Amino acid sequence: MEVFWDLLKAFVVGGLICVVGQVLIQTTKLTNARILVLFVTAGVFLTALGVYKPLVDFAGAGATVPLTGFGYSLAMGAIEAVNSYGILGALAGGVTRAAAGIAAAIFFGLINALIFKPRAKP
Amino acid sequence: MSENKTPQEKHYARLVDELTPNSRHLRGCVRAFWVGGLICTIGQLLTMLAQTLELGELTAPMFTSCALIFLGTTLTGIGVYDRIGKYAGAGSVVPITGFANSVAAPAIEFRREGMVLGLGAKLFQIAGPVLTYGISASIIVGVLYWAAKEWLL
Amino acid sequence: MRIGSRTFVYEHPPRIAAHASIVGPKESKGPLAAYFDESSQDDLFGQKTWEMGESEMLRRCAARAMEMGGLAPEEAQALFCGDLNDQIIATGFAARALSVPLVGLYGACSTFVEGLVLAAALISGGQLQNALCAASSHFCTAERQFRFPLEMGTQRPPSAQWTATAAGCALLMAGDGTGLRVTAGTLGRIVDYKIKDANHMGAAMAPAVESTICAHLDDTGAAADDFDLIATGDLGWIGREILLQLFRERGRPLPPEKLVDCGASLFYQEQDTHAGGSGCGCVASVSCGWLMKRMERGELGKVLLVGSGAMLSPTSTMQSESIPGIAYAVRLEVK
């Protein structure tokens, strides 16, 4: 039962975050690239304001999978690294925490481009 | 060139607005909601899987995001993700799979322009700005946090 | 002879001796499929890249027009041609293969009609005995140049138009005899009502089309009713409505049944192109396929063909400049 509850929370919160993006796309003509940039930076600052962490605790993947969650990792990384290493942690922390995701995207993107061919839209 | 619109241009802008059909807002939001929600649910399942594999608190989210990124790039490669995106809009842009799509799509597309300035450079066409502003924002947050800690506490 | 503000009436109107059209897979499932001379199911046209595929399509189309008109490539005196790829490179490669003297043109989607206006003037003036007018566009080359990579999961707004994978080529010849002729042409003037949305080309071009149609009618003293059809190039469904509204507001309404838009005709609504087709190849293939064939069959006698172009570049879009619109018109008559 608890499993179902966790999944439901992830579904609803994740879905709602995407709806925010959809409303932005439909009303402001923002392109995909701008939406992504906006969500990552929003995630960073919401985390800094202490708003995002409770949402992550509540919804799990519902809050970490949207790109705001990527911003959350960056911000949490920077904050925790400042605690351990002082000011230099601000530079190192964000990327360290998000390193696996960034590296995975680059590497899988590369491998993918070597395997597959571009195709036209139907 | 002046940015000010003449009355005629303003009138024309209104006319265009009136005659241009709007996106179907509610339909778009419902689609974004369920597809985005579904991707997050898959993420939650992966996190649970990571827990049964006894991955740590830091490695479990890593496992989840890497698996989703793999899913996103692969669906892009086999030509499925753009169809999902056409249907779901932000529902497939906002999740991390959408970030993976934005890395994989230009990489595949520009491979014909060469390995270095084609594939290698264009891979960052959209991921570049995301990383630029995301990382910079995290640095600003880190520095502010450091300053607050130094002087306020 | 130049009359009025910007119209030429050709003293020796050239004959359209032949015309050829080639379309890609999606276009060949549209309502006009039966009119095109060749429908390729391979959007690479046997080449390695889409860019080279577009060049091959263009070359094939021009070669076909020459063949149909019984003109050997070495007899062709000029090729008026353009496309949407940066620095009209599809034209460059196609003309390299054809080795016909080239006049490279850029008028965005209006290129084909721009070519007709100029070629007809030179033939009428005796400088040329024949000329080829051609243009091409390709969905995949245009999309990656002007928008996002094809594999990106993007949603296109309802006003977006679908760049047609198509090419058209008309062979103009001097001389007497009966047939389809280019009898007058009107140059375009840039009209820019500060539309910045690159996903709404119809809105960016409609005022230019209105201006050119009015100029043509005023210069020649004609009325819209004198024509059997006014065919515009690539306003799409929404742009066509805007154009009709512009004429209504001006107090000289166009009869809607006489206004046909090439972009709105190329696809079925169900093909999900949103506002319809666009691209140099759209107006070129629809006029060389559908329009000219119908005129030759005697179904239409006098047509005003208006090609419109949104003269934006990827850079100007990024710098959020507005879109300069232009439109050229030619009068086609069966004599």
In this complex, is the C-beta atom of B93 within 8 Å of any C-beta atom belonging to chain C? yes
Residue B147 lies in a domain: no
**Is residue C301 predicted with pLDDT exceeding 80?**
yes
Query: Across residues C277-281, what is the average pLDDT?
Result: 94
Compare A71 and C146 and report the one with higher pLDDT.
A71
Residue B15 lies in a domain: no
C220: confidence class by pLDDT, cuts 50, 70, 90: very high
Chains in contact with chain C (at least 3 beta-carbon pairs closer than 8 A): A, B
In chain C, pLDDT over 90 holds for what percent of residues? 88
Contact present, B88 and B31 (Cβ < 8 Å): yes
Predicted confidence (pLDDT) per residue in C236-265, tens digit = 999 999 999 999 999 999 999 999 999 999
Q: Which residues have a Cβ under 8 Å from the Cβ of B68 and sit 6 or more positions away?
A: A65, B39, B42, B43, B46, B95, B96, B97, B100
**Is residue C296 predicted with pLDDT exceeding 60?**
yes
**Is residue C152 predicted with pLDDT exceeding 90?**
no
Phi/psi of residue C46, each to 5°?
75, 5
The pLDDT, as a whole number, for residue B3 is: 62
The pLDDT, as a whole number, for residue C309 is: 95
- Report how far residue B74's alpha carbon sits from residue B66's, in angstroms, rounded to the nearest whole number: 12
Q: Give ∠ CA C58-C63-C68 in degrees, rounded to 5.
A: 125
In the numeric block, which tokens belong to residue C3? 């009359």
Residue B152 lies in a domain: no
- Report how far residue B6's alpha carbon sits from residue C152's, in angstroms, rounded to the nearest whole number: 37
In the numeric block, which tokens belong to residue A89? 């942690």
In chain C, pLDDT over 70 holds for what percent of residues? 100
- Put simply, the answer to whether B112 touches C238 (Cβ < 8 Å) is no
Give chain B's domain count. Answer: 1
**Three-class SS state of C81:** strand
Residue B136 lies in a domain: no
Task: Fill in the amino acid letter for C119.
Answer: A
Query: Across residues C195-219, what is the average pLDDT?
Result: 94
Beta bridge partners of C3: C7
In this complex, is the C-beta atom of C193 within 8 Å of any C-beta atom belonging to chain B? yes
**Is residue C30 predicted with pLDDT exceeding 80?**
yes
Q: Which domains does chain C have, with CATH numbers?
A: 2-173 (3.40.47.40), 180-334 (3.40.47.40)
The pLDDT, as a whole number, for residue A122 is: 66
- Report how far residue A54's alpha carbon sits from residue B30's, in angstroms, rounded to the nearest whole number: 25
- Reported pTM: 0.93
C108: confidence class by pLDDT, cuts 50, 70, 90: very high
The pLDDT, as a whole number, for residue B1 is: 45
Task: Fill in the amino acid letter for B51.
Answer: Q
Residue B135 lies in a domain: no
**Is residue C229 predicted with pLDDT exceeding 90?**
yes
Least confident of B15-24, C111-120, C184-193, C291-300: B15-24
- Report how far residue C300's alpha carbon sits from residue C226's, in angstroms, rounded to the nearest whole number: 12
Residue B76 lies in a domain: yes
- Report how far residue C17's alpha carbon sits from residue B150's, in angstroms, rounded to the nearest whole number: 84
A69 interaction partners in chain B (CB closer than 8 Å): 96
Q: How many CB atoms lie within 10 A of CB B51?
A: 13
Q: What's the DSSP call for residue C21? A: E
What residue of C is the nearest CA neighbor of B1? C321
**Is residue C118 predicted with pLDDT exceeding 90?**
yes
- Element housing C334 (H / E): strand C325-334
Digit-by-digit pLDDT tens for chain B (153 residues) are 446 788 999 999 999 999 988 777 899 999 999 999 999 999 999 999 998 888 777 788 889 999 999 999 999 999 999 999 999 999 999 999 999 999 999 999 999 999 999 999 999 999 999 999 999 999 999 999 999 998 887
The distance of C149 to chain A (nearest Cα, Å) reads 9
Helices (H) and strands (E) in chain C, counts: 10, 15
Tell me what ipTM this predicted complex has.
0.93
Residue A16 to residues A10, A48, A55, C16, C157: CA-CA distances in angstroms?
10, 21, 12, 60, 22
